[in-house]
Amino acid sequence: MGEFVSVEITDQIATIRLDRPKMNALNRQVQEEIAECARIVDADPLIAAVILYGGERVFAAGADIKEMAVMSYVDMAAHSRTLQECFTAVAEIGKPVVAAITGYALGGGCELALCADFRVVGESAKLGQPEISLGLIPGAGGTQRLPRLIGPARAKDLIFTGRHVDAAEALAIGLADRVVPDDEVYTAALELASTFVGGPAVSLRAAKQAVDRGLEVDLDTGLEIERLQFSALFATEDAKEGMGAFAAKRRPKFTGR
């Protein structure tokens, strides 16, 4: 894997691990390594679920400001597309993705967490989009994914003020899905991810795509996306197994086909 980002696989669960001391600052190299790891876990049929993890002390404190400070408009106009593509690679992993958040998840770190399906947050964690304090706005999906998750007014509050929210508030507004003691964050994320092991992988991918794509379009188009995904699953072995197992009153044995 990369110098700062790696993939560890145990019992069909892949952990994308950030390790760039001290704060996992998301410079260009880290962004590209995250994207490469995302593509690897997405393509591996033996991986059932994914955890994003920055370690016991911090998830990711944001972009590498020193790297950005010397960039011109021309530089960033070219790089910003790559930046978004790197994060989108995580959002498009066709498997359940859990962000295990300790310490800070700020700026780009918060935007990375927004690319996950679920966020397990440590009690002392801080989340936010503080780019406004730099005279900037979020540039890796924050202005788009955050309002889709917590609503436009709450998202504007965080983006306009740049304030940090603690774990309790994150849970209350829907930015966190579960809050646990700091030293239990990874274990709790692993517990959640493990519920998808042995599940119908094709159906899970279809469900994720239907929800995510449906949020981007009008209701009628979203319903058509759902209809097509739903109908296509009748061509899979897992659907036949699932319905057959239901009729026979037994547990299904899914194969991901």
C-alpha 254/C-alpha 199 separation (Å) is 6
Q: Which residue has the tokens 């876990």?
A: 41
* Catalytic residue flag (residue 8): no
Residues 168, 106, 145: CA angle, nearest 5 degrees: 85
Q: Which residue has the tokens 């042995």?
A: 198
SS3 state at 254: coil
In terms of Cα–Cα distance, which of 6, 91, 9, 2 is closest to 45?
Answer: 9
Q: Which of these is catalytic: 3, 36, 131, 224?
A: 131
Q: Which residue has the tokens 């390594």?
A: 33
SS3 state at 207: helix
C-alpha 2/C-alpha 68 separation (Å) is 21
* Catalytic residue flag (residue 111): yes
C-alpha 208/C-alpha 188 separation (Å) is 21
SS3 state at 95: coil
User: Which residues are identified as catalytic?
Assistant: 111, 131
